[in-house]
Amino acid sequence: MYSRRWALAASYAVLLVGALLVVGPFVWQALTSVKSFQDSVRIPPVVLPSPWDWSGYARVFEVMPLGRQFVNTVLMAGGRTIAQLIFCSLAAFAFARLEFPGRRFFFGLFLVVLMVPSQLFVIPQFLIMQQLGWLNTIQALIVPGMFSAFGTFLLRQFFVGLPRELDEAAELDGCGPLQRYWRILLPLSRPGLIALAVLTLLWSWNDLMWPLIVNTDPEMMTLSAGLAALSGQHNIEYPALMAGSLMATAPVIVIFAILQKQVIEGIANTGGKS
Partner 1 sequence: MIAPLGLGLAVFYLWPIAQTFYFGFTEWGPFGGSEWTGLANYERLLADEEVWTALRNSIAYTALVLLGVPVAIVFAALLNQRRLRGRGIFRTVYFLPVVTMPSAVAMLWQYLYNGDFGVLNQLLALVGVDGPSWVSDPRTAIYALAAIGVWMAFGYNLVILMAGLQNVPKQLYEASAIDGAGPVRQFVSITVPMLSPTIFFVSVISVIGTLQMFDLVYLMMPAGSPALPATQTIVHLFYSTSFVRNDPGYGAAIAFVLFVVIALLTAVQFRIQRRWVHYV
State which of positions 120-179 bind partner 1 (CB under 8 A): 120-126, 128, 143-144, 146-147, 149, 152, 177-178
Please count the residues of the chain. 274
Smallest gap, in angstroms, from Cβ of residue 119 to partner 1? 4
Smallest gap, in angstroms, from Cβ of residue 155 to partner 1? 11
Smallest gap, in angstroms, from Cβ of residue 68 to partner 1? 16
Binding mask 11-50 for partner 1 (x = CB under 8 A): xx-xx--xx-xxx-xx-xx--x-------xxxxxx-----
Smallest gap, in angstroms, from Cβ of residue 146 to partner 1? 6
- Whether 1 and 211 have beta carbons less than 8 Å apart is answered as no
Smallest gap, in angstroms, from Cβ of residue 245 to partner 1? 3
Point out which span in 49-57, 158-166, 186-194, 227-235 binds partner 1 (CB under 8 A). Answer: 227-235
Q: Hey, CA dihedral for 195, 146, 113, 217, is it positive or negative?
A: negative
Tell me the residue type at 50: S
Please report whether residue 112 would count as binding partner 1 according to CB under 8 A.
yes
Interacting residues with partner 1 between 50 and 109 (CB under 8 A): 86-88, 90-91, 93-95, 98, 106, 109
Of residues 41 and 169, the one with the C-beta less far from partner 1: 41
Binding mask 231-250 for partner 1 (x = CB under 8 A): xx--x--x--xx--xx-xx-
Instruction: Kindly state the number of chain residues that form the binding site for partner 1, as judged by CB under 8 A.
Output: 93
Of residues 136 and 231, the one with the C-beta less far from partner 1: 231
Distances in Å between the alpha carbon of 16 and those of 4, 158, 195?
Answer: 18, 36, 29
The count of other CB atoms within 10 Å of the CB of residue 235 is 9
Smallest gap, in angstroms, from Cβ of residue 236 to partner 1? 10
Please report whether residue 9 would count as binding partner 1 according to CB under 8 A.
no
- Whether 127 and 135 have beta carbons less than 8 Å apart is answered as no
Closest by CA position to 221, among listed 22, 68, 26, 29:
68
Interacting residues with partner 1 between 172 and 211 (CB under 8 A): 177-178, 181, 202, 205-206, 208-209
Point out which span in 7-15, 53-61, 159-167, 184-192 binds partner 1 (CB under 8 A). Answer: 7-15
Long-range pairs for 226-235 at CB < 8 Å and ≥24 separation?
226/64, 226/65, 226/66, 226/69, 227/64, 229/64, 230/60, 230/63, 230/64, 233/63, 234/63
Angle between helices 238-270 and 223-233 (to 10 degrees): 140
Q: What is the 3-state secondary structure (H, E, C) of 192-237?
A: HHHHHHHHHHHHHHHCCHHHHHHCCCHHHCCHHHHHHHHHHHCCCC
Of residues 54 and 106, the one with the C-beta less far from partner 1: 106
Smallest gap, in angstroms, from Cβ of residue 187 to partner 1? 17
